[in-house]
Amino acid sequence: SSLCEVEKYQPFFGLTEMEVAEATQYMNYFEKLRQCCGFQMSVYNRLRLHGCNITKYKSLSLYPNCEAIKNITAIERVFYSHELRKYSRSKDNDVNWSEIGDCARYDVMIRDGKDFNGSPFTGCNSTMDRVDRKQKKRKSFDVT
């Protein structure tokens, strides 16, 4: 999570506590929008929007729990007007969030059959098989 990383930059850039708090708040909004909005949102949220049974993924630490966000438009508004946003304009506005209302717009397109980067959705089973293979591979690299 990038939220955990913000404080690490404090000594390097000489940030005040207030600047760290503001950057942390900004990254919190950014992560929610990055994981829950756009064609590059979390695969788990795309699966959910496609109507797939995602129960087995809900306990994963990577699961973004986008459905728990009751008012994503409020997050869009706050993020859109955040002071730090002027330094981070997205270059890939065709696939990621860029303005208020994009979350709802992308959700509709995904429910209508689009998927990652706007490609056609290939089905719950094939996508979940791909996710499961990646998880298995990721676990094989984990060192305890």
Q: How far apart are CA 5 and CA 7, in angstroms?
A: 6
> pLDDT tens for residues 13-67?
899 999 999 989 988 999 999 999 999 999 999 999 999 999 999 999 889 999 9
List 30's β-bridge partners, or say none: none
3-state secondary structure 77-117: HHHHHCHHHHHCCCCCCCCCCCCCCHHHHHHHHHHCCECHH
CA distance 107 to 33: 12
Q: What is the per-residue pLDDT for 8?
A: 86
Is the pLDDT reported for residue 116 higher than 70? yes
* Non-local CB neighbours of 93 within 8 Å, separated by 6+ positions: none
88-110 residue pLDDT tens: 665 556 667 788 999 999 999 99
What's the predicted TM-score (pTM) here? Answer: 0.85
Phi/psi of residue 51, nearest 5 degrees: 90, 15
Closest by Cα among 123, 129, 86, 109 to 40: 109
